[in-house]
Amino acid sequence: MTDALFLEPEHEMLRDQVRRFVEDEIKPHAEAWEADGKVPREVLKRMGALGFFGIRYPESYGGAAMDTRATAVWAEELGRSTFSGVAITALVHTDMASVHLFNAGTEAQRDRWMPGIVSGEVITAVGVTEPGAGSDVKGIRTRATRKGNSAYVLNGSKTFITNGVLGDLYCIAAKTDPAGPPSQSVTIFLVEKGTPGFTVARQLDKHGWLSSDTAELHFEDCEIPAENVLGQEGRGFYAIMQNFQNERIVLGAMAMGEAQAAIDLTVDYVKTRQAFGAPLWDKQAIRQRLAMLQARVSAARHLVYATAKRDAEGEEVVKEVSMIKALCGELVNEVMYDCLQFHGGTGFMRGTAIERMTRDARVQAIGGGATEVMLEEVAKRM
């Protein structure tokens, strides 16, 4: 019902294409990527060749010029893959990093980088989070100091950066006016891998999302050409806030894809798992709990697509997007808890999908805006 209300035939065609890719080219191989800690570059190039990295970008750059609803479809189907490390690798590139370049970049910056971004030849990352600044973007300490009229010098560190090792091009937030108002002192810079003074300090070992590389980045007297400023100096805070709306729709759709996949796996399992002489599905408490989880996931998914449609139409959806991030991030963890429980000891074993999915889901209530921060955003607008 949700799809018929909010989606057009082109969105359904995209869903079919992404789902086929997931079944044919992700699921059979992603266990190995979990062990390697990264998604192979050739797989990302294949996503680009199929048009997935250009869903929202203009045809002039090789894209499809679709809307927010397409983003939600893309994210949900990747979430349904059961390999969320693969999903977030792609989604950070398409909807959390490269969007800064597209939204704020000059024509010259776009012409230089967008074709490679869409094709998958250039993988992007975004560096906002620091040891002392996560959801509190105004707390950024990385400094960018003017060097004449032609350059800036970056000093500082970033942490928890998805695609930090894999990336080729980084959108890095830094303070350019430490004495000014926090909301007017952050600037975003394009930093290329290999720039002197920029190092990937270390790859981080995570609880989940194992096929996604996550790193610490370090900048020491890293000189960046002035033409690599992204957008206006001092306007980076607003650019980050603006893209949070898209990012949180993406994360909500991804979480509901994860939750639906977990319910589907668990229903199949309890219908065949015998206990006390009958399938677990025959236990009223189990099937009713799964039915209630399905009802809540369907409702949350409805909110995601309704909000995506409103966003595509240019409406203000900050309150609804904050609700999505809080609701879906918590709900996916509830779903995983019960689904693992209904798998019994099997669900606690490494190598099972539900065990991996439960680990992967935990960060959904943290990354991209912690639940508590999101609820404050909702409360401000009540």
**Phi and psi, residue 185, nearest 5°:** -120, 5
Query: Token pair for residue 136?
Result: 């509190």
Please give the structure tokens belonging to residue 137.
């973007």
Q: Is 247 a catalytic residue?
A: yes
> Nearest CA to 194 among 95, 142, 122?
122
Compute the distance between CA of residue 260 and CA of residue 263 in angstroms, rounded to an integer. 5
Query: Most distant CA pair in the chain: distance in Å?
Result: 79
Torsion of CA 332, 334, 338, 339, to 10 degrees: 0
Catalytic residue (one of 34, 247, 258, 377): 247
Query: What does the radius of gyration of the chain's CA atoms come to, in whole angstroms?
Result: 21
Q: Which residue type occupies 343?
A: H
What residue type is 301 in one-letter code?
A: R
Stated as kind and residue range, the H or E segment containing 190 is strand 186-192
Burial of 374 (0-12, 13-18, 19+ CB in 10 A): buried
Q: Which residues pair with 214 in a beta bridge?
A: 162
| CA atoms of 188 and 152, how far apart (whole Å) | 11
CA triplet 29, 330, 300: central angle to 5 degrees?
85
Catalytic (active-site) positions: 247
